[in-house]
Amino acid sequence: MSKLEKFLRGRFAAALVAILVGFAVAAVVLTAAGFNPAASFAALFQGALGKPKYIANVIIKATPILLTGVGVAFAFQTGLFNIGAEGQYILGTIIATIVGVKCNFPAIIQVPLVVLSGVAGGALLGAFIGFLKAKFGIHEVITSIMTNWIMLYLCNFVVSTETFHKPNSTSALPVNPSSFTMILPNWKKSEAGKAFLANIPWLREVMLKTDVNFGFLIAVLVAVFAGFLLSRTKLGYELRAVGYNKDAARFSGISVDRSIVLCMLISGSFCGLAGALNITGISPHTIGTLAAMEGYGFNGLSVAFIAGCSTVGCIPASLLFAGLIYGGMTVQQVMGAPSDIINIMIGTIVFFIALPGVTPLLADMLAKKRKEQESIRVSKDGTPLPEKEV
């Protein structure tokens, strides 16, 4: 087997081919709409990577997508389809906001309290979905979709209450500043901070013009932890065993019902963490009235599929996804092309990722062609050589 054939049978090849096809489809759509594909893609990359603040904003935008993607990927590897990541994310933002508004402890207590409250919200919702699956056999996709909408309207209800509503706005009160997970939020606005940053232009741009925070670092650690938990621990083995074959897992003494609830609890906690970190790390540090889903959970679903449901693979996949979304705004501003073209590209990438047989089929075609070429090789006297001597 050649190196190319081995590469095409790998998981990375499927993602790479899907990405290339996505760009090709976007180029066709741009051309048909009368836009220059090369110039549009140049604007896309410029908008995502052209300035330090653009890169910082891409990383910030990737944080919740990475965490919800890890949540979806974790559940998928254990045989569950957590399409309710959106609702778990929203509940994480709600609980984090409520706790952040009502409590005002020193940051060393306040930050863990607010963040862990959001984690608990997502975890409890995930566990509830898992309980319905384990106890009554209700499919998690159905309950997940329903809880997504319930959480959306719960968010709007909390925003409208007298206790949390911010006057003359469509949002709730922001959490107390002691809840913030931004990097040196007070120092960078002080005279000493401004004087120091004045000597480092790129750092000044990142610190003063973006809500740079610790969220992405936490998300990366969570992705690595989730991968370790699944592949290197007894608990991960039990969860994966239930996903592969419930009957065999039950026969071996594993509690299937407990594993289902626990898996959804862990998955939901990752999504709740995404919501909490968005509240503590990004302005305006509160929730607002939602007319539609924010999309972080559904984008996480796409990231999980692009990553082949590898929790660690969600890290580069989330950066790619965030770069396309953030850079897509520049395409619209510079070229006048609709941002829907980026959605078409992302949809195409996910579609081809969902076709796992494409790259192995290419590998099979190459192998067949190679064997045909070997079969027609002949010795010097014209007699075909045995295959093993070729």
Residue pair 174/180 in contact by the 8 Å Cβ criterion? no
pLDDT at 389: 46
**Residues 46-55: tens digit of each pLDDT:** 999 999 999 9
DSSP H or E segment with residue 38: helix 37-49
DSSP 299-347: HHHHHHHHTTT-TTTHHHHHHHHHHHHHHHHHHHHHH---THHHHHHHH
Show the low-confidence residues of the chain (pLDDT under 70): 1-11, 354-364, 366, 370, 374, 376-390
The residue to which tokens 């309710």 are assigned: 84
Long-range contacts of 351-355 (CB under 8 A, 24+ apart): 351/18, 352/14, 352/17, 352/18, 352/21, 352/22, 353/14, 353/15, 353/18, 353/305, 353/306, 353/308, 354/305
3-state secondary structure of 171: strand
pLDDT at 339: 73
Torsion 341-347-348-349 (CA) sign: positive
